[in-house]
């Protein structure tokens, strides 16, 4: 069975400092992995996805993530945080389904950015 | 402008009432999904549909019902059998491996 564990429920950074949101996954298959962002009372927006191509994946708004099979990790990083990055971030693994894409969500990490 | 719309944005329901949440997409996607989001938890799958006139239960389908009469529309009914319906409900659609989400409906039971 597929699962994801987001290691921090909250992360606080200052504007201009690096961001690291940690995610470990478990999968019986070669997984597809995603990071989604959710601003308050909004839907989810895809930041980036890994689907067995390059292990370093670049996404929108300066975010990137590195797939490390040996560590079963898919951590999300950004060199310099901006106030607008404050949101909830979800690490997601795609589970094989019978003809549809079943997503398994982590519990989320709330990113707080202070001036 | 392609996307997914959900209505209403906020919904209040008295105990014992059924309510229907609307989800419409103009992305021409075959697959559509309903999720429930509770504080401190990830999204949980309620129902999904891969094609018109067909839908399947997800992980937490009890107390919910859906229909898929048109490709563009996938309404969710929260019935009185759902014991704890207060939550944020998100609709999504997909063609390949990326799901696109609507803005959500916040349902509160009074």
Which pairs from B37-43 meet CB under 8 Å and 24+ separation?
A: B37/B87, B37/B88, B37/B89, B37/B90, B37/B104, B38/B87, B38/B88, B40/A9, B40/A107, B40/A108, B41/A107, B41/A108, B42/A90, B42/A104, B42/A105, B42/A106, B42/A107, B42/A108, B43/A44, B43/A90, B43/A103, B43/A105, B43/B90
Q: With residue A41 as reference, give the H or E element that holds it.
A: none
Quick one: closest CA in B to A43, which residue?
A: B103
Asked if B40 is an interface residue toward chain A (Cβ–Cβ < 8 A), one would say yes
How far apart (Å, rounded) are the C-alpha atoms in residues A29 and B25? 31
Asked if A106 is an interface residue toward chain B (Cβ–Cβ < 8 A), one would say yes
Sort out which chain B residues have CB atoms less than 8 A from A43's CB and list them: 4, 6, 90, 101-104
Asked if A31 is an interface residue toward chain B (Cβ–Cβ < 8 A), one would say no
Asked if A7 is an interface residue toward chain B (Cβ–Cβ < 8 A), one would say no
Which residue among B31, B44, B102 places its CB closest to the CB of A43?
A: B102
Asked if B54 is an interface residue toward chain A (Cβ–Cβ < 8 A), one would say no
- What pLDDT digit, counting tens, does each position of B70-108 carry? 999 999 999 988 889 999 999 999 987 788 999 999 999
Where residue A99 falls among pLDDT bands split at 50, 70, 90? low
- What pLDDT digit, counting tens, does each position of A61-72 carry? 999 999 999 999
Flag if B42 and A106 touch (Cβ within 8 Å). Answer: yes
- What pLDDT digit, counting tens, does each position of A22-61 carry? 999 998 777 889 999 999 888 899 999 998 778 899 999 9
């Amino acid at each position: 069975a597929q699962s994801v564990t987001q290691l921090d429920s909250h992360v606080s950074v200052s504007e201009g400092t690096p961001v690291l949101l940690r995610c470990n996954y478990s999968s019986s298959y070669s997984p597809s992995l995603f990071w989604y962002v959710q601003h308050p009372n909004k839907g989810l927006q895809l930041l980036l996805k890994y689907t067995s191509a390059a292990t370093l994946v670049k996404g929108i708004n300066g975010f990137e993530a590195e797939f490390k099979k040996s560590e079963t990790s898919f951590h999300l990083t950004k060199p310099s945080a901006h106030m607008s990055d404050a949101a909830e971030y979800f690490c997601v693994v795609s589970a094989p389904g019978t003809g549809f894409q079943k997503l398994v969500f982590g519990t989320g990490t709330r990113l707080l950015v202070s001036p | 402008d392609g996307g997914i719309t959900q209505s209403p944005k906020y919904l209040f329901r008295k105990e014992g009432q059924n309510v229907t949440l609307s989800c419409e997409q103009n992305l021409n996607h075959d697959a559509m999904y309903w999720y429930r989001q509770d504080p401190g938890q990830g999204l949980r799958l309620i129902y999904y549909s891969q094609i018109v006139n067909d839908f399947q239960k997800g992980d937490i389908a009890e107390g919910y019902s859906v229909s898929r009469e048109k490709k563009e529309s996938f309404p969710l009914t929260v019935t009185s059998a759902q014991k704890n319906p207060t939550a944020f409900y998100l609709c999504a659609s997909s063609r390949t491996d990326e799901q696109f989400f609507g803005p959500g409906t916040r349902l509160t039971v009074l």
